[in-house]
Amino acid sequence: MQIRLVCVEDGIENYGFRKVSSFIKSIHPQTKIAYIPTGNLRSILKVLTEKGAGDLMDKDILAVAQFLVEGDLIGFSSMTQYSKTVHQIIAKIRHINPKSFIVWGGIHAIVNPEDAIKHADAVCTGEGEFSFKNFLELFKSGKDYTIASGFWFRKGNNIIKNKNLPLMKPEAMDNLPPLTYQDGEYIYYRDKGFKSINSKDFINFGGLMYGTIWSIGCPLHCTFCANTKFIEYDNAYRRLRHSAPRTIIDEIKRAISKQPHISTIGFFDDSFLNLPYEVLEEFCKLYKAEVNIPFMIVGVVPNYVRDDGKIPLLVDAGLNRLRMGIQSGSDNILAFYKRPTKLHRIKEATEVINKYKKYMVAPAYDIILENPLETPEDTRASLDLIYNMPRPFTLNIYALRVIPNTTMAKDLEERGVKVPPIDKNYFVDYARTMGNCLVFALTVWKMPKWLYKILRKKVYPVQTKQKHYPILFWLCRTGHLIKREFDHLRFMDFSYIPGNLGYYFWKLGVIRFWQRYILKQYHLPKKIKNLKNKLSNAQEYPQ
């Protein structure tokens, strides 16, 4: 029996898909894995021109469908932004072969199974590895597969909804195969069809970074996040689960053995700093001894950023970039998002991070614009927070969009407030208001206070009728993007900049030379080393 697995997204990072697909191939070797990028999320030209998630042409939809119908079982993975493209591919598959059995998994299938089941025969609503294994055993043996836990099934006019399996335990995570990474996958290019993936494809889409996820789960319950749906299924999702440090180190070393040009490791966990100190300490020892290249962490929660524990430990091991969620500078809006972090704690966290600015690319802080519930005071409060933050920094700037079935989607519906859905691009199509202009401008330039006060008076929430400034917005946003590129180039960090430029620098030895130069030029202060030793010898680990 042949299985075809595809991920439809705006790139080829797709950590969840790579995790599940490697497991499925390990239990059923007759599995072909493919990426269907609708575009390149990190393309500099695409970012500058505000081109969001692309659409596939009819001939592309046909080509993808013809590849997939060769399988006896077809599996999709996608986020909600790309669900309409999946709808089109499934429709074409049904036209070619109405008997094709189609399974849909990934974030969209979990948060909005009501939509996915309209198109697929089966929808995976939880962690996919063991659920799929049970389903596959029943499916291959000709038994009643509709009893498989973790799935919804469409049978005639009926929808069968089964409960999810218990969440995977850490011991089981240690026994999973490493993420799919240049293991015989295919990639689809418009007008060119499918081809075997190689290192050039990873460089074009992801630069010189290898991305992965070590821990699963998030202690927060932010209303805008898809995690609220995961927690609704099982509250245990709020607890972090992770494999052993040795397991993740071996995965990283495997990736580097395949692509020696990898110069940065990216950890895309939801709450990396929430891992216990003793676990991070073991990880750092192994990482520094066996990997010893810079790494970045995202999903940083301000509550866990302290100057007396994990940050100096990680910086000493190679941390050179982090991303932290701020979302808003208004206590009212933070309360609406159910963010448990107060403004004073956000400010303290940015000050702690700023102490390590010599060793790290400018930190990236997430901010959400265009919330229609904001008052003028709320919108201006976010600008005030940004204006006063210690520099350097950059921002990941998002316009508010709604993920179906999240807590926020339900809250807004109850209030009768309409916000564009997530499939309307959240990283483009910003309103050209003065407030949005200033958000981008402040990442580049801390203007004099007298000028800031004048412009601040022109700032209103997005729903307020106001003057727009398209030329000023373009200038501010372009300046923001240029500065961000420069921040990375200063550290020879090509995790944000895709394409061949970074590869040529690596080939010439410039990247490794520069990384060593940075470490020598900005050696870790004695106080950090002493603090790290003190914490290591302490009877109680910091939380």
Query: Can you tell me the distance from the alpha carbon of 129 to that of 121, in angstroms, rounded to the nearest whole number?
Result: 18
Residues 458 and 77: their CA atoms lie apart, in Å, by 44
Phi and psi torsions of 397, nearest 5°: -105, 120
pTM of the predicted model over 0.85 = yes
Give me Rg for the CA atoms of the chain.
23
**pLDDT at residue 236, as a whole number:** 87
Confidence tier at 51 by pLDDT (50, 70, 90):
low
Query: H helices within 192-244, ranges in order?
Result: 199-206, 227-233
Residue of 228, 308, 321, 304 whose CA lies nearest to 267: 321
The dihedral over CA atoms of 156, 159, 162, 168, expressed in degrees to the nearest 10, equals 90
Instruction: Convert the pLDDT of each residue in 74-110 to its tens digit.
Output: 999 999 989 999 999 999 999 999 999 999 999 999 9
Count of residues in the chain: 543
Find how far residue 488's CA is from the centre of its chain.
19
**pLDDT tens digits, 211-257:** 999 999 998 889 999 888 888 888 888 899 999 999 999 999 999 99
Return the number of other C-beta atoms located less than 10 Å from residue 517's C-beta: 11
Q: Which residues are CB-contacts of 95 (< 8 A; sequence separation ≥ 6)? A: 65
Strands 215-216 and 122-124: unpaired
Summary mean pLDDT of the chain:
91
pLDDT value at position 543?
46
Task: Give me the pLDDT at residue 388, please.
Answer: 97
Q: How far apart are CA 174 and CA 214, in angstroms?
A: 11
Q: Nearest 5°: phi and psi at 234?
A: -155, 115
CA distance 188 to 261: 23
Q: Is the pLDDT of residue 539 over 60?
A: no
The structure tokens listed for 425 are 């691009």
What is the distance between the alpha carbons of residues 162 and 154, in angstroms, rounded to a whole number?
A: 12
Distance CA 368, CA 388 (A): 18
Residues 427 and 141: their CA atoms lie apart, in Å, by 46
Q: Looking at residue 44, what is its pLDDT?
A: 73
> CA angle, corner 207, sides to 202 and 209, nearest 5?
90
In percent, the amount of the chain with pLDDT more than 90 equals 78
d(CA 259, CA 208): 9
Q: What is the phi-psi region of residue 323: left when phi exceeds 0, alpha when psi lies from -120 to 50, beta otherwise?
A: beta
Q: Please state whether the peptide bond connecting residue 392 to the residue before it is cis, i.e. omega within 30 degrees of 0.
A: yes
Higher pLDDT, 349 or 54: 349
**Could you tell me how far CA 339 lies from the centroid of its own chain?**
19
pLDDT score recorded for residue 540: 46
Pairing of strands 122-124, 151-155: antiparallel
In angstroms, the CA 472 to CA 469 distance is: 5
Residues 6+ apart with CB under 8 A from 167: 127, 234, 236, 237, 241
Q: Which of 396, 283, 300 is nearest to 353 (CA)?
A: 300
Provide the Cα torsion 501, 504, 508, 510; round to 10°: 20
**Per-residue confidence at 396, pLDDT binned at 50, 70, 90?**
very high
Pair of tokens at residue 40: 């390149």
Contact 228, 407 (CB under 8 A): yes
